[in-house]
């Protein structure tokens, strides 16, 4: 496995990869969720390229950019074990040599909703760095986690709308045995907050169960809200919504997605699940 720190080194390393290349983009602090992405890439592409970069552009001024966990040595070990060929881990100046870029990707309507409403500018920052990383790594396949479902949806949309020649592959969310979705930010949680964080997955599970029982969209949402409220106190709901699987506006029936975001102490967590509603008669 080769570690490259500059764009020039990356270009040389990329040129040496023959066959298909799968990219896994991360902000480091790798966990079993990232490992699932790496496994999928290993299975579906001839070579695996991992990027590790805590992208300042997607953090708001009051967010956790400075305290975001940075664990490069451990991350490299995870990548090595997972069979990655190349890891690109640039410094900030390497990615943004002119400081903040003046041109950014416009994420459109969806970019201002849900995560984009609570984190203004977030998806401008995400899509800008993802597009830059697509240009630099030139992957055939790109693997993104369903845990960040709106991000996955917007990356797919960007690839389609801006003609990026890449196949975007979604990987199901990896969870702790008690249901908590793995997230690098889980390491911020105290034991009490960890218990309160279960409200998110409990809400989603209750919604999914209501849907399996044939309940309509209103009852599914009510069940999810009820379970969120019945959890260990400490989680403050940001949003809990039931949408079309492409996050398009309008009434939902059949396949749908239930998405939740909440604050637990100073940590913001997100989660989501696929739901199948009975078709409306
Ligand atoms: N539990 C998970 N299951 C599957 N994929 C995941 C999971 N957690 C993160 N990913 C995916 O890993 C990629 C890199 O994500 P990132 O490095 O931001 O990790 P993260 O755990 O989501 O961090 P954060 O806590 O900052 O949100 C993204 O495509 C993300 O969706
Ligand atoms: C896609 C990404 C690596 C862009 O910085 C980040 O948003 C993430 O880790 O999900
Ligand atoms: N996991 C998506 C990146 C972020 O929350 O900043």
- State if residue 145 touches ligand 1 by the CB under 6 angstroms criterion: yes
pLDDT of residue 281: 62
Determine phi and psi for 238, rounding to 5 degrees: -95, -60
Lookup: tokens for 110: 């969806």
- State if residue 33 touches ligand 1 by the CB under 6 angstroms criterion: yes
What are the chain's domains?
2-171 (3.40.50.620), 186-274 (3.30.1300.10)
Q: Kindly identify the ligand whose nearest atom is closest to the C-alpha of 122.
A: 3
CA nearest ligand 2 atom 1, residue: 25
- The dihedral formed by the CA atoms of 48, 58, 115 and 61, expressed in degrees to the nearest 10: 150
Question: Is the CB of residue 41 less than 8 Å from the CB of residue 17?
Answer: no
pLDDT tops 80 at residue 280: no
Mean pLDDT of the chain: 97
ipTM of the complex: 0.98
Q: Report the candidate in 119, 124, 106 with the shortest Cα–Cα distance to residue 60.
A: 119
- State if residue 215 touches ligand 1 by the CB under 6 angstroms criterion: no
Provide the 8-state DSSP code for 96: -
- State if residue 58 touches ligand 3 by the CB under 6 angstroms criterion: yes
CA 103 to chain centre: 23
User: 26 CA distance to ligand 2 centroid (A)?
Assistant: 5
User: 243 CA distance to ligand 3 centroid (A)?
Assistant: 21
Q: Kindly identify the ligand whose nearest atom is closest to the C-alpha of 59.
A: 3
Distances in Å between the Cα of 260 and the Cα atoms of 46, 122, 177, 184, 205 are 36, 17, 19, 17, 11
| The Cα angle at residue 94 between residues 2 and 118, in degrees rounded to 5 | 105
- State if residue 199 touches ligand 1 by the CB under 6 angstroms criterion: no
Report H helices in the chain: 7-15, 32-44, 72-81, 92-95, 108-111, 115-118, 122-137, 149-161, 191-196, 198-212, 217-230
Q: Regarding beta strands 167-171 and 86-88, do their DSSP bridges make them parallel or antiparallel, or are they unpaired? A: unpaired
User: 183 CA distance to ligand 3 centroid (A)?
Assistant: 9
Measured from the CA of 63, which atom of ligand 3 is nearest? 6
For residues 219-239, give the mean pLDDT. Answer: 96
C-alpha–C-alpha distance, residues 99 and 93, integer Å: 7
What does the pLDDT look like over 49-74, one tens digit per residue? Answer: 999 999 999 999 999 999 999 999 99
Q: Is the dihedral of CA 62, 110, 146, 201 positive or negative?
A: positive
User: 215 CA distance to ligand 1 centroid (A)?
Assistant: 31
Binding residues: 27-34, 58, 145-148, 151, 174, 182-185
- pTM of the shown model: 0.98
Positions marked active-site: 34
Question: Is the CB of residue 145 less than 8 Å from the CB of residue 37?
Answer: yes
- State if residue 39 touches ligand 1 by the CB under 6 angstroms criterion: no
What does the pLDDT look like over 77-115, one tens digit per residue? Answer: 999 999 999 999 999 999 999 999 999 999 999 999 999
What does the pLDDT look like over 13-32, one tens digit per residue? Answer: 999 999 999 999 999 999 99
């Amino acid at each position: 496995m080769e570690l490259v720190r500059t764009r020039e080194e990356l270009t040389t390393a990329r040129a040496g990869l023959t066959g298909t290349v799968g990219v896994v983009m991360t902000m480091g602090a790798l966990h079993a969720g990232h490992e699932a992405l790496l496994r999928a890439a290993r299975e579906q592409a001839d070579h695996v390229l991992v990027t590790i970069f805590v992208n300042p552009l997607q953090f708001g001024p009051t967010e956790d950019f400075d305290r975001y966990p940075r664990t490069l040595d451990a991350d490299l070990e995870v990548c090595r074990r997972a069979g990655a060929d190349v890891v690109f881990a640039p410094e900030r100046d390497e990615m943004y040599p002119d400081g903040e870029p003046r041109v950014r990707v416009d994420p459109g309507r969806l970019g201002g909703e849900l995560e984009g409403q609570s984190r203004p500018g977030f998806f401008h920052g995400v899509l800008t760095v993802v597009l830059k990383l697509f240009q630099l790594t030139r992957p055939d396949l790109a693997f993104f986690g369903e845990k960040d479902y709106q991000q996955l949806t917007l990356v797919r949309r960007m690839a389609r709308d801006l003609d990026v020649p890449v196949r975007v592959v979604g990987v199901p969310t990896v969870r702790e045995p008690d249901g908590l979705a793995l997230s690098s930010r889980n390491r911020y949680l105290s034991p009490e907050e960890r218990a309160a964080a279960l409200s998110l997955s409990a809400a989603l599970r209750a919604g999914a169960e209501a849907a399996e029982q044939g309940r309509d969209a209103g009852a599914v949402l009510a069940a999810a809200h009820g379970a969120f409220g019945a959890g260990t106190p400490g989680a403050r709901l940001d949003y809990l919504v039931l949408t079309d699987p492409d996050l398009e506006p309008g009434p939902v029936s059949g396949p749908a997605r239930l998405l939740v975001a909440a604050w637990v102490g100073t940590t913001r967590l997100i989660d989501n699940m696929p739901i199948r509603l009975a078709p409306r008669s």
